[in-house]
Structure 1
Amino acid sequence: MFTQFKNIDTAFSHIKRFSLLMIIACLLISGFSIYKGFTMVDRAQQKVYILANGKVLEAAAGDRKDNIAVEIRDHVKVFHHYFFSLDPDEKVIQSNINAALNLADESAKRAYDNLKEKGYFNNLISANISQEILVDSTLVDLDAYPYVFTCYATQRLIRSSSTIRRKLVTTGTLRNVSRSDNNPHGFLIQRWQTLDNHDEPLNPSR
């Protein structure tokens, strides 16, 4: 009789240990599965897909601080492109200027108003002049905030009879703002001013 009870107690002890081991194993498997799931989600979030010319391209996402200099340079380049890439068409000029003014503060608006008051844009239209700009380089100082930049660019004023080249140097600061469709980099140019804008010798072959 006692032997039977002893066997039952031993069997129950074995079942108890086996059940405990199974519970621990299930917990370990569940924990590992959750960890792997979070890891896969994190990797997926690091992938960015860009649609360019009808093709889907994969890009790596990083922290803003890792790419801030690149984003600043592109923001400055886009601003100068819109502000200085003009055709002898009032609608094109206004559209580009509006896009540029979304990226800068009232200092850019004042520069536009001054040019407009001097009849600069009317002269482009009346003389059928197209204006292009090529940003050569942009220096950025990240040691202080707002960030300071200096932009070096080349302007081309194209007319039927000739092409005029101008060297352009501008400077300003940038502060962080919210990203939007009109301002995808999330920067605002402040205290923008032109340091130099002089004509280069005319090259008739260009």
Structure 2
Amino acid sequence: MDLKSLKDIPATFSIVKKSLYICLGLSLCISIGSMIWSYSLCTAYLNTTYIVTNEGKAIMLNSANKYKVDQFRKPEIVNHIKEFHKLFFEIDQFDYEKKVNKSLHLIGNSGKDLYLTLKAKRYYSTIVSNNLEHELHIDSIHVNHKTYPYRGELFGEVIIKRTDQKLENTQKLHSYFELKNVARTEDNPHGLLIEDYIVSGL
């Protein structure tokens, strides 16, 4: 190794050191930029809410303050309760499986337990064998949306008819339950799940 090569070593080392500093700086910039971008996305998500329309559809609303979120949440809760009860109780011999399965996306384990209990009591087989049609009339829905989990109560009646529309029977329906926030999905657009469901009258 000649003297010139030895003299070039400090210069080469300096270049390598500068390159390392540049790479480190770029890595830090990318990391910080990613954190800022993630924070902005989270902030935008938290400032986004969904409201329910008169048709019961959820639409996105940006930059809603907490008061507006609370204000719009109650109609969603009420609509979620209506939708579950209509799907679960307003059935006939042809569509009960499809509607009940759809309703189970809106309720937790207590709903699945109720379904299995009714099935064991031949509730659904009676509908099929006797050609029955169940029609739900909701009298009132009470919701406390100011506490969490939300609490709800429904009063109504199930009118049981034969397919010839002759009145067969009427059952009073009273249910009490809690509702919790969950991720919104296509099967659960309101982002709510009914829990601890208790029903009387069946």
Map of 1:146 onto structure 2: 149
Q: Which runs of 4 or more aligned residues in structure 1 lie more than 2 Å from their structure 2 counterparts after TM superposition? A: 59-64, 160-163
Distance 1:129 1:110 in 2: 23
Question: Shift of residue 65 of structure 1?
Answer: 1.8
AA aligned to 1:143 is K
AA aligned to 2:160 is L
Pair 1:120-2:123 in alignment: yes
Map of 2:181 onto structure 1: 176
Question: Shift of residue 64 of structure 1?
Answer: 2.9
AA aligned to 2:99 is N
AA aligned to 1:106 is N
Distance 2:159 2:143 in 1: 25
Distance 1:167 1:100 in 2: 20
Map of 1:101 onto structure 2: 104
Pair 1:157-2:160 in alignment: yes
Distance 1:60 1:178 in 2: 14
C-alpha deviations, 1:151-203, integer Å up to 9, x for none? 11121101134332222110100000111110011100000011x317xxxxx
SS of the counterpart of 2:148? coil
TM-score when normalising by structure 1: 0.63
Cα RMSD (Å): 2.4
AA aligned to 2:190 is H
Larger radius of gyration: 1
SS of the counterpart of 1:185? coil
AA aligned to 1:192 is Y
Question: Shift of residue 119 of structure 1?
Answer: 0.8
Distance 1:86 1:148 in 2: 26
Distance 1:130 1:157 in 2: 6
AA aligned to 2:157 is T
**Structure 2: stretches of 5+ with no match in the other structure:** 1-47
**Structure 1: stretches of 5+ with no match in the other structure:** 1-44, 53-58, 199-206
TM-score when normalising by structure 2: 0.64
AA aligned to 2:141 is T
Identity over the aligned pairs, expressed in percent? 29
Map of 2:91 onto structure 1: 86
SS of the counterpart of 2:201? strand
Map of 1:110 onto structure 2: 113
For residue 131 of structure 1, the aligned residue among 131, 134, 148 is 134
Pair 1:67-2:77 in alignment: no
Distance 1:149 1:174 in 2: 7
Question: Shift of residue 85 of structure 1?
Answer: 1.1
For residue 186 of structure 1, the aligned residue among 183, 187, 191 is 191
Question: Shift of residue 135 of structure 1?
Answer: 1.7
Distance 1:64 1:192 in 2: 25
Question: Shift of residue 60 of structure 1?
Answer: 9.9
